[in-house]
Amino acid sequence: MSEPDRTTGPDRTTGIVQRGLYYDELELGARYLHRPGRTATEADNVLFSSLTMNTQALHLDAAFSADQPFGQRLMNSMWTLATMVGASVSQITQGTLVAQLGLTDVSFPAPLFHGDTLYTETEVTAKRLSSSRPGQGIVTLRHTGRNQHGEIVALATRTALMWCAPDTPEETP
């Protein structure tokens, strides 16, 4: 008789389901280092810029960019932002996010180029239970993106509506 497959099937007790963290599990001041990093490629830049209809020559035209202040094409900053937030999903919000509520304080203090590797970290800067949505809480996350040299290339503050852990008594606000 063969051993049952412990990685599939409707019975969740036979396998481990990857998920993010519930509101209750997020600690103020905790800093999550998301690994592995993501090396930015020319294909990423061209595809993302094309998909988003961003025809900025600084992303697509090597000859034009060579005569500009950075001397080469820049990664599309929206790719950098999206990749930075995306890097946090499996560790923080996978299956525990209700909705992203907003992004603020987005900045790009240094450029990211083809061939650079983006490393992301996330700090939990605030959290509170929702006053209008029982079983949910609002969490503020500060994302920081660094290149392989440790230079900060992107910053963003993200507000997320998160599920509280199931069967956990709610705190009183």
**pLDDT value, residue 100:** 97
Q: Which neighbouring-strand residues pair with 137?
A: 129, 162
Q: How far apart are CA 141 and CA 15, in angstroms?
A: 30
Q: Which residues contact 113 (CB under 8 A, 6 or more apart)?
A: 40, 70, 72, 73, 74, 75
Using one digit for the tens of pLDDT, what is the confidence trace for 97-114? 999 999 999 999 999 999
Cα–Cα distance list, 158 to 30, 99, 144, 148 (Å): 15, 11, 11, 23
Contact present, 120 and 87 (Cβ < 8 Å)? yes
Mean pLDDT of 76-84: 98
Using one digit for the tens of pLDDT, what is the confidence trace for 32-57? 999 999 999 999 999 999 999 999 99
- Tokens 């992301």 locate to 120
**pLDDT value, residue 167:** 78
Using one digit for the tens of pLDDT, what is the confidence trace for 135-172? 999 999 999 999 999 999 999 999 999 999 997 555 54
Q: How far apart are CA 105 and CA 152, in angstroms?
A: 14
Lowest mean pLDDT across 11-25, 60-74, 84-98, 136-150? 11-25
Number of neighbours of residue 97 by Cβ within 10 angstroms = 15
Confidence tier at 10 by pLDDT (50, 70, 90): low
Helical ranges in the chain per DSSP H: 42-51, 57-60, 62-66, 77-88
pLDDT exceeds 70 at position 13: no
